[in-house]
Homo-oligomer: A and B are copies of this chain.
Amino acid sequence: MATQKTPRIDPLTLEVVELIGAVVARYHEEYEEAAAEHALTGAQARLLSLLSMEPLPMRRLAQKLKCEPSNVTGIVDRLETRGLVERRPDPADRRVKLAAATEEGCRVAHGLRDSLNFAREPLAGLSDNERLSLRHLLRRMLEA
């Protein structure tokens, strides 16, 4: 177990991994860029996007963002200061605070989604058939 590292490096797999890395890098780049256009950080944009669908307790936000609840407090604080998010009491449980996007917050979230042109640009060059097989392959990768 000591001498044999990366037993057989299938060159095809290696290249695919590299390509995925490139896609990931590009996706992130464009996401941060789109967020910055709306004066949001990446974390703020992700959180606001979640809230634009439905209000969520802080706890759930932390789970979805895969971080500690204490972290969410700060991000929501900053968004609340800017009037994009508000905290509402949960009628069913007085411990819980529901974070919800304000009307303005929803507008910003939609603008963000629209300017997230990673959708159009790189996918535009693909035919419908190519998109179909891409969908199939990505699904298979993710179900593993």
Residues on A lying within 8 angstroms of B by beta carbon are: 5-6, 12-17, 19-24, 26-29, 66, 110, 113-114, 118-126, 128, 130-135, 137-144
Contact = CB atoms under 8 A, between A and B. Distances in A.
Sorted nearest first, the 10 A-B pairs with minimum C-beta distance are A19-B138, A122-B141, A17-B119, A122-B144, A134-B137, A24-B27, A125-B144, A24-B24, A16-B135, A12-B131
Given A20-B118, A23-B20, A23-B24, A13 B131 contact: yes
A31 to B, nearest CB: 9
B24 A138 contact: no
B12 A110 contact: no
Chain copies in the assembled complex = 2
Contact of A15 (B19, B133, B135): B135
A99 to B, nearest CB: 21
A133 B144 CA distance: 18
A138 B16 contact: yes
Contacts of A126: 137, 140-141
A21 to B, nearest CB: 7
Nearest to A110: B5
Given A5-B110, A130-B140, A123 B24 contact: no
